[in-house]
Amino acid sequence: MGSRIVIGENSQNVNDPGSRAIGDVIAMQLASITYCSLTNNVKSTLEKYLPEWKLVWEPVQAIQGNWAFIAFNGVQYVLAIRGSILNFSWGAFDDWFKQDFNILKQVPWTYTFDTSTKPMISQGSHEGLQNLMQLKDSNGDTILGFLQDNAFPQQKFLCVTGHSLGANLATVAGPWLRYELLKGGYKMPAIFSILTFAAPTSWNSAFAEQFDNDFTNTWRYYNEIDIVPYSATDIIGLGNLYSPPAPSAHKISVTYDGKTITLSEVFDAIAILIDGCELYYDSAYTHVNQKRGSVPLNTDRHIFPVKNTDPFIEQWFAEAGKQHDHNNYLSWLGAPPLNCG
């Protein structure tokens, strides 16, 4: 291995559940670089910030917004998955919640050797994973095909990472790759890590338990006042997330399903929908890394300044955008911002 850093090579510390992974800054940088695909300079940005990592697989185009790349540093392949391009506003959040994220419908998780506990994921995560499976590079190789040719036979170290919706998909893509690897008769590599940043939860407790049992090198990083990680498991709490000078969600009016109510009441209404979904499927959403590997960031709950002349609703979502921004996640990890180019 020499001096090369292997992302997540340390196992989770059960005595210190919030301890960080080795190479977590690199994982967050790789997750951030996925957004550079929007300006077609992933390779140049990778060379600028992480010259030891080479771009070895890149799809020709995204499928319904889902996109990823694979990088290699000589010892480890990393699949970095792009998050959704979310403009933080009320309309964008409502659309994202009902369509891209789509947690109001659940489907069985089938990429497992044990379905007896009935693991399930959201329809949105299922569709996102299916899109990732269909991505192809200029040679016609899929993610799985490339790894089957280059990583699995040599038991090369693996890592899956992402930010936001990319982190959500990393949480399902990792178990999918593990399933395909073992189904194909390959041996698990000594290190198969999954590092997620600002991941929304969209799987039930059976999936989360399998995930935690199958992987020991996984970490879930989240900002304590980022709305996205709480959007399924504690959405009622979103109304009380920000302290002054950020505007209160209880004092912001929005139009929801044709009615004018407060933003806080919207979150309450969505929570009722989620509760109904969970009751219908008898399947409650539960985040992974229940006992180890969940790392809180921004623990002093810093509030960013926003333009106080804007309407309260715009101020609230501007704050939400800053709390979710990938460069602020890098800052909380002690790293400088990353700019595409």
pLDDT in tens, 262-308: 999 988 888 898 999 999 999 999 999 999 999 999 999 999 999 88
- Asked if the structure places residue 280 within a domain, the reply is yes
pTM for the full predicted model: 0.95
pLDDT value, residue 95: 64
Residue in the structure block whose two tokens are 């990680």: 229
Asked if 241 contacts 248 with a C-beta cutoff of 8 angstroms, the reply is: no
What is the tens place of the pLDDT at every residue in 192-230? 999 999 999 999 999 999 999 999 999 999 999 999 998
Q: Amino acid identity, residue 223?
A: N
Confirm whether 93 is domain-assigned: yes
Q: What is the mean pLDDT of the chain?
A: 92
Quickly list H helices, the chain. Answer: 24-33, 42-49, 90-95, 123-134, 143-150, 165-183, 205-214, 263-281, 312-324, 326-332
Q: Is the pLDDT of residue 98 over 70?
A: no
Q: What's the pLDDT score for residue 1?
A: 42
User: Which of 66-80, 119-133, 142-156, 238-252 is the least confident region?
Assistant: 238-252
Taking a C-beta distance cutoff of 8 angstroms, is the pair 171, 196 a contact?
yes
| Distance (Å, whole) CA 265 – CA 249 | 9
- 340, part of any domain: no
Pairing between β-strand 192-197 and β-strand 54-57 as defined by DSSP bridges: unpaired
Q: 246: pLDDT confidence band, cut at 50, 70 and 90?
A: confident
Is residue 69 included in any domain, yes or no? yes
Q: What is the torsion angle, in degrees rounded to the nearest 10, for the CA atoms of residue 222, residue 228, residue 234 and residue 240?
A: 90
CATH number reported for the structural domain that contains residue 63 in this entry: 3.40.50.1820
Decide if 91 is inside a domain: yes
How many CA atoms, within 13 angstroms, populate the side-chain half-sphere of residue 167?
Answer: 25
| Residue range of the domain that includes 266 | 24-332
CA angle 134, 139, 140 (to 5 degrees): 25
The two counts, helices (H) then strands (E), for the chain are 10, 11
User: How many structural domains is the chain composed of?
Assistant: 1
Asked whether residue 4 is assigned to any structural domain, the reply reads no
Q: Which candidate, 81, 110, 88, 86, places its Cα nearest to that of 168?
A: 81
Ordered DSSP codes for 14-80: TTSTTPPPTTHHHHHHHHHHGGGGGGT-HHHHHHHH-TTSEEEE--SS-BTTB-EEEEE-SSEEEEE
pLDDT of residue 53: 98
Residue 145 lies in a domain: yes
In a domain, 115, yes or no: yes
